[in-house]
Amino acid sequence: MEVPSSLPLTHLFDLTSSSPPPTSKPFIPVTIIRCCSSSSSTTSAAAPKHSGRARRLSADSTTTQSSDRSTVRAIHLKKVEEFRTKGFAYNTPPKHLLPLSSKTTLISPKPSPPPPISATNTTVQLQEKLLYLDSLGIDLIPLLTTHPPLISTPLSHIKSTISYLSTTISLSPPALHRLISLCPEILTLPLPFIISAITFLLREAHVTSHNLRHVIHRRPRLLTSDVKTRLRPALYFLQGTIGISEINKHAHLLSSSVEDKFLPRIEYFHENIGISYDDTILIFRRFPSLFCYSIKDNLEPKFNYFVVEMGRDLKELVDFPQYFSFSLENRIKRRHLRCTEKGVCLPLPAMLRSSERRFMERLEVCCDSSMPVKNSPFWNFTHNDYQ
């Protein structure tokens, strides 16, 4: 057997090298291996033969692994491209499977857009909502004007909300109609949001289940107010700062903002009118509904008339803050003028709280006799008689 070689192997074998031919072709040395019959020669010849085969197998194995790895890389990259074009998410292949010669940048696929909604389907859904709400005596068109998200609200969600309000709270159809008319956003709110508000009223505000319908009917905004940001801060302020113990009797105030409604009215009485802070807190503790009155449209004109026209003392407002709950034109001015004509000065409760017949009777009695002084027990009787 002839094996091309460039190294001398005379120290292992009995070698005879052929001389180069006299032609001009390039010389390639050839080593002739003569197989000997002795075992030592056979053994020594077999060893390099096995070693050469191992090197060739190792080289073939390395080439095969490199080829397989390149194939796997190509398959992964092909799948990435397929999923990217189809709009599906795909995990980035391991780094050892990415090509080493070039940098591969995988761009996360954009979410596939929702299927387009045809105008026909939208019209049909809107007609279904219109018919359903009309069966309850509710006109959808004004609600869409005040709360446009109702257009995209599923009919199933509206039905589940109305069913919960009708069965769990047992709202009557007129009460339900009033609730939706004043707060149309209740039909778009998640049902757990409404449940959390009702749970707060029952557990923390201590509203009884019997009075729950009355509370919601009086203040529907309670069901659309967030518990953490609106209801609970108002509860803590009314109980802690003002000192209202029976908050369930004034649950309608819980949907009001502490910063926008409570504090400005306290500042008005304390800073503008000049009543001390303790007396101001006492005023709101005695008459918490005063928080609902407008400063510009209610408190200011009535206070100006109280000071300028009636000439009364501020202590009377502290004792009887309900003065601001009466109509300025129909009750306060008319009765004050009658008292002025008769030359009588009645306490605020006796002048404003009594009925028209009782007021005229009291006025006639006072015209025929003098009013008792304030330190007299008759004054206390007359004053407390109308508390």
139 lies in the same domain as 251:
yes
pTM value is: 0.62
- Same-domain status, 172 and 235: yes
Number of domains in the chain: 2
Residue 218: inside a domain: yes
Is 56 found in the same domain as 172? Answer: no
Same domain, 141 and 212: yes
pLDDT beneath 70, residues of the chain: 1-122, 368-387
Task: Tell me if 336 is assigned to some domain.
Answer: no
Nearest to 129 by CA among 162, 97, 94, 106: 162
Give the domain range for residue 205: 130-256
DSSP string, 183-240: -GGGGTS-HHHHHHHHHHHHHTS---TTTHHHHHHH-GGGGGS-IIIIIHHHHHIIII
Residue 105 inside a domain? The answer is no
Tell me whether residue 316 is in a domain.
Answer: no
The whole-number pLDDT of residue 343 equals 87
Which of 256, 280, 307 represents a domain boundary (last residue)? 256
pLDDT value at residue 60? 54
For residues 84 and 135, state if they share a domain.
no
Do 277 and 239 contact (CB within 8 A), yes or no?
A: no
| pLDDT score, position 66 | 56
Same domain, 70 and 167: no
Domain with 211 in it: what CATH number?
1.25.70.10
| pLDDT (0 to 100) of residue 61 | 53
Give 154-167 pLDDT, tens digit per residue.
Answer: 999 999 999 999 98
Does a structural domain hold residue 293? no
* Whole-number pLDDT of residue 89: 42
Q: Are residues 138 and 88 in the same domain?
A: no
> Domain boundary at 256, 286, 307, which?
256
φ, ψ of residue 376 in degrees (nearest 5): -85, 145
141 and 245: one domain?
yes
Last residue of a domain, one of 206, 226, 256: 256
268 part of a folded domain: no
Structural domain contains residue 183: yes
How far from each other are the two terminal CA atoms of the chain, in whole angstroms?
Answer: 132
The answer on 140 and 90 residing in a single domain is no
Same-domain check for residues 150 and 74: no
Considering the domain boundaries, does residue 140 fall inside one? yes
The residue type found at 162 is I
Asked if residue 235 and residue 194 are part of one domain, the reply reads yes
Quote the DSSP letter at residue 31.
E
Question: Which H or E element spans position 15?
Answer: strand 15-17
Are 175 and 216 in the same domain? Answer: yes
